[in-house]
Amino acid sequence: MRKTVFLALFLAGMNCVAVAQTTGELMNQFIQNIRSAGSVETLFLWNNRVPGKMILQGEMFYIEMDEYQIYCNGTTKWFYNQGTDETTQTPHDASSANILDNPASFFSRLNTDYYQPGTPGKKRLPSGEETWELTLIPNSVKAPFTYLVLSLSVTDLTPLYIRYSDTGGSEYSITLKSFTKTQARPRSFFERKGQ
């Protein structure tokens, strides 16, 4: 009888281990979801003060914050200031991992540039929604951030919140109000017209 009870408990324990999620597995699934989308469109609130919009498609993106619009076609970046009606054009730095400078690189490098300790934390929001909270630690002292916390919906791995600190000690937060997969747009959408 004891052997049967022990075997049942052992098998139940093995089943729990098999379905347990690691931070690395969640990150891989999350990044794959972004890569498999034609494009991703999100509305966000930066540092609880500045609303914004981002459209991300591969290495191309569009960001709208305050009176600024940033267009990037993967090789060239345009900064448009609506207040002064001025556009500045620069080469795109594809190696930057800063989320506002290069969101494509930021998201794609989460599972390579950061250490993901074991099991993620699960939290319940006041709304009742369950989230995974992933704390990521940089693999290198040369990383742009000293830590990064990513909150994902348990149901579909939609990002809800990002909190990070730069090497100067400044902390930032991004609350994602929406995160929607959309159809791919033409490259011309990510280029500033009428300069």
**pLDDT by residue (tens digit) across 56-79?**
998 899 999 999 999 999 999 999
Domains of the chain, by residue range, sit at 22-190
User: Of residues 180 and 115, which shows the higher confidence score?
Assistant: 180
Q: How many CB atoms lie within 10 A of CB 73?
A: 19
Q: Are 64 and 45 in contact (CB under 8 A)?
A: no
Report pLDDT for 13: 37
Q: Does pLDDT of 85 surpass 90?
A: yes
Taken in order 52, 55, 58, 60, the sign of the CA dihedral is negative
Report pLDDT for 51: 96
Kindly report the pTM of this predicted structure.
0.80
Question: What is the fold, at CATH topology level, of the domain defined by 22-190?
Answer: outer membrane lipoprotein receptor (LolB), chain A (2.50.20)
